[in-house]
Amino acid sequence: MRVRRTLEWWIAIVRLAAVAFAVLEVAATARYPGGYQQAAWILTAVLGIGAVVLYALVRRGVTPAVEIAAMAFDFAIISAFVVLYAFEAGTPTRALLFLAIALGASRFGLYGGVGVALGTVPVAAWFEQRRSDIFRVDYRWDFVSFQAGAGLLMALLAGWLVSRLEEERATTERRADEAESLRDELGRRADLLEAANRCARALGSSLDIDEAFGAFIRELRGLVPFERMAIVLAEDGVARVMAVSGAKADEVMPPGTQLGLERNLLAEVVERGQTVYRRDVSSFEYAEEPELLAVGVRSRVVAPLLAGTRGVGVVSVGREEADAFSEQEVELVGLLGRLVASAVQNIRAYASERRTVEELRRLSELRADFVSLVSHELRSPMAAVIGAARTLQQRWRELQPEQRESFLALIGDETARLAALIGDVLDTSRIDAGTFSYRFADVDLAALVRDTVTTASVGQDEVPLVAEVPASAPSIRGDGERLRQVLGNLIDNAVKYSPAGEPVEVRLVPVDGSVQISVQDRGPGIHPDDQQLVFEKFGRVSGSVSKPGTGLGLFIARSIAEAHGGTLSVSSAPGRGATFTLRLPVG
């Protein structure tokens, strides 16, 4: 709502400025037919009154009704001026209808732009009818269809961009709320972990499990003296010794030892979740007890490590005398087992949350890079298109035909650049979603390489392209258009980074049951640290050699290569150019 209010406020300001512009134009126009000048002044007065009223309404607040009323007023007043000034031969007034389309798209997105564009068709038809009647010339339906088609294209482009930006804004706000919620959850869990540390100082001395166990063992020795103790964790049917202290700790069942669960007291304690006191292990009821007796352990207490009601391991404390533990010591070991389990869970939870935070940070940085890059890449071509369009609109009569063609060519080039950017973003989104489609068939790579090099050569003349393609090469199964997209991207990159006059070499070579296509340039090269980065989404080369771009092309190219069972790699060094190699399997 805040964005809409800001938009309507700015349109209201522009509308007030348009009143002065209308007064100037009405006063400057000469040779009005009878009654037309009076009608023009009446329309200007209506514009002024409407501008003031709408400005007052916008200041009080923007509602859907105000937006619709403002759009209706703007469309009506623009249409009236267009039809009124049909008496001027060669007038650019008809172009004002594009302003109405832009207003509809900026207010209501794609549907608004298309709706207003369709609404301008009757106005354009009426304008042409009046022009035909006034100048007694044939009615030109092609003028009407051109106006309608151009307006619809503008509505589709501008409306899609506005809708896309609105979606991105909503997504950003939603993700910010999610990140804040996750941050709060992390804070609460950190508080719980801190409370657990206060309850078990030894276990809380470190968030490294080995260090925490070491501190716990040192503390335990003062509470419950022992000949030997061990902490064993059981997961997925496998028991692993995590920490050992006491007699022959490095020789008999040292840390890292995997224990069998058959006839092992560990399995019984974990399953039942109850502490077991073995007063004398010389009876050898369990498989591990002969080894314990050999190192001097005669009695032991084995307590479960309970995470809730689930056993995750045991803590075992042994002494050299039989029946050496008091009832209080047995109870204390059982309690300590719960504390150890809690510490293990908390340490693992901390590690997991740390990974989550790091992933969130990476995603946040990725999102920031996306917004920054796309905003920057959109801003330049949009500024060029708007500037050229306004120049044509305001100075059409003053410009020579070749100057007009130059501005129109600029608009076409920058619009194509926008389309390419949008295509890359959509392709990346489809790749992430797994909906990027392919149509596999037999592909003649030799012909594809020749055609792509020829097309790239026609598009520029500063960097020569050299193709080394054998007379015949094995065909592959693949999507020809997607492979053409990959090769075109590699050649465009090579041309972009190559000095003028230095050739870019494209080679196709059959190699060991596969076909290898390499694109070699003589540009600044890529530092080894950046050679994997360039294949990631928004990956950009660091330093001064970076060129404008979104950093999506090579990500899309590698994804297409991998979908064909192939690979895309780079070999480069700073100052020695770069060679990108696409390898595809035959058959």
Give the 3-state DSSP-derived string for 519-582, with helices as H, strands as E and coil as C.
EECCCCCCCHHHCCHHHCCCCCCCCCCCCCCCCCHHHHHHHHHHHCCCEEEEEECCCCCEEEEE
How many other C-beta atoms can be found within 10 angstroms of the C-beta atom of residue 332?
Answer: 18
Please indicate, yes or no, whether residues 55 and 82 belong to a single structural domain of this protein.
Answer: yes
Q: Is residue 424 part of a domain?
A: no
pLDDT at 191 over 50: no
Residue 138 pLDDT grade (very low, low, confident, very high; cuts 50, 70, 90): confident
Question: Do residues 100 and 75 share a domain?
Answer: yes
Tokens in use for 509?
A: 């070579």
Q: Looking at the structure, do residues 158 and 296 belong to the same domain, yes or no?
A: no
Check residue 448 and give its pLDDT.
83
Domain boundary among 179, 199, 219: 199
Cα dihedral 308, 313, 314, 315 sign: negative
Q: Which two tokens stand for residue 483?
A: 């492979």
Is residue 303 left, alpha or beta, with left meaning phi > 0 and alpha meaning psi from -120 to 50? beta
Same domain, 226 and 163: no
Is residue 184 a part of any domain in this protein? yes
For the chain, state the CA radius of gyration: 38
Whether residue 94 is found in the same domain as residue 69: yes
263 shares its domain with 179: no
Whether 339 is covered by a domain: the verdict is: yes
For residue 309, which amino acid is it? T
**Dist CA 436 CA 564 (whole Å):** 13
Per-residue model confidence as pLDDT tens digits over 297-329: 888 888 888 776 777 788 888 888 888 888 888
Question: Measured on CA atoms in the order 571, 573, 575, 576, is the torsion positive or negative?
Answer: negative
DSSP state of 320: S
Handedness of CA 63, 68, 74, 76 (dihedral sign): negative
User: Is 178 inside any structural domain?
Assistant: yes
Regarding whether 304 and 232 lie in a shared domain, the answer is yes
**Predicted confidence (pLDDT) per residue in 379-403, tens digit:** 666 766 777 777 777 777 777 888 7
Q: How confident is the model at residue 190 (pLDDT cuts 50, 70, 90)?
A: very low
d(CA 340, CA 294): 27
Cβ(259)–Cβ(288) below 8 Å: yes
530-549 pLDDT, tens digit per residue, is: 777 777 766 666 554 555 55
Per the structure, the count of domains in the chain is 3
The CA–CA distances, whole Å, from 245 to 201, 234, 268, 315, 316 equal 19, 19, 23, 12, 11
Instruction: Copy the structure tokens of residue 311.
Output: 């056993």
Dist CA 417 CA 462 (whole Å) = 20
End-to-end CA distance of the chain: 57
DSSP 513: T
Are 557 and 448 within one domain? yes
Mean per-residue pLDDT, 110-134: 84
Most trustworthy range by pLDDT among 10-24, 187-201, 299-313 = 10-24
Q: Does some domain include residue 400? A: no
Contact 551, 537 (CB under 8 A): yes
Q: Does residue 237 sit in helix, strand or coil?
A: coil
Q: How far apart are CA 228 and CA 288, in angstroms?
A: 14
CA neighbours closer than 13 Å in the CB half-sphere of residue 405: 3
Given a cut of 80, whether residue 119 has pLDDT beyond it is yes
Environment class of 560 (CB within 10 Å of its CB; exposed 0-12, middle 13-18, buried 19+): buried
pLDDT at 99 over 70: yes
Least confident piece of the model among 405-419, 551-565, 570-584: 405-419
> For residue 131, what are the CA distances in angstroms to 33, 87, 128, 147?
13, 6, 5, 15
CATH code, 338: 3.30.450.40
Give the best-scoring range by mean pLDDT among 3-17, 109-123, 240-254, 345-359. Answer: 109-123
End-of-domain residue from the set 154, 174, 199: 199
Domain boundary among 145, 176, 199: 199
How far apart (Å, rounded) are the C-alpha atoms in residues 339 and 216?
10
Rounded Cα distance, 93 and 97, in Å: 8
Q: Produce one character per residue of 360-375: b if its CB has 16 or more CB atoms within 10 Å, e if not.
A: beeeeeebebbeebbe
Q: What is the extent of the structural domain holding 504?
A: 441-585
Cα distances from 23 to residues 19, 45, 79, 243, 429, in angstroms, run: 6, 9, 17, 89, 49
Whether residue 139 is found in the same domain as residue 163: yes
| DSSP-derived secondary structure for 222-272 | HHS--SEEEEEEEETTEEEEEEEEETTTTTSS-TT-EE--TT-HHHHHHHH
Give pLDDT, residue 194: 43
Q: Is residue 168 part of a domain?
A: yes
CATH number at residue 450: 3.30.565.10
273 touches 302 (CB < 8 A): no
| Confidence at residue 31, expressed as pLDDT on a 0 to 100 scale | 78
CA angle 449, 455, 458 (to 5 degrees): 140
* 511 in any annotated domain: yes
* Local confidence band at 270 (pLDDT 50, 70, 90 cut-offs): confident
Q: Are 204 and 347 in contact (CB under 8 A)?
A: no
- Listed ranges 88-102, 213-227, 317-331; the one with the highest mean pLDDT: 317-331
Q: How far apart are CA 317 and CA 319, in angstroms?
A: 7
Which tens digits make up the pLDDT trace of 486-525? 888 888 888 888 888 788 888 888 887 788 888 888 888 8
Query: Are residues 183 and 241 part of one domain?
Result: no
Instruction: Assess whether 258 and 184 both reside in one domain.
Output: no
Q: What count of other Cβ atoms lies within 10 Å of the Cβ of residue 246?
A: 20
Q: How far apart are CA 129 and CA 403, in angstroms?
A: 30
Same domain, 181 and 227: no
Mean pLDDT of the chain: 78
pLDDT tens digits, one per residue of 470-487:
877 778 888 888 888 888
Q: Is residue 107 part of a domain?
A: yes
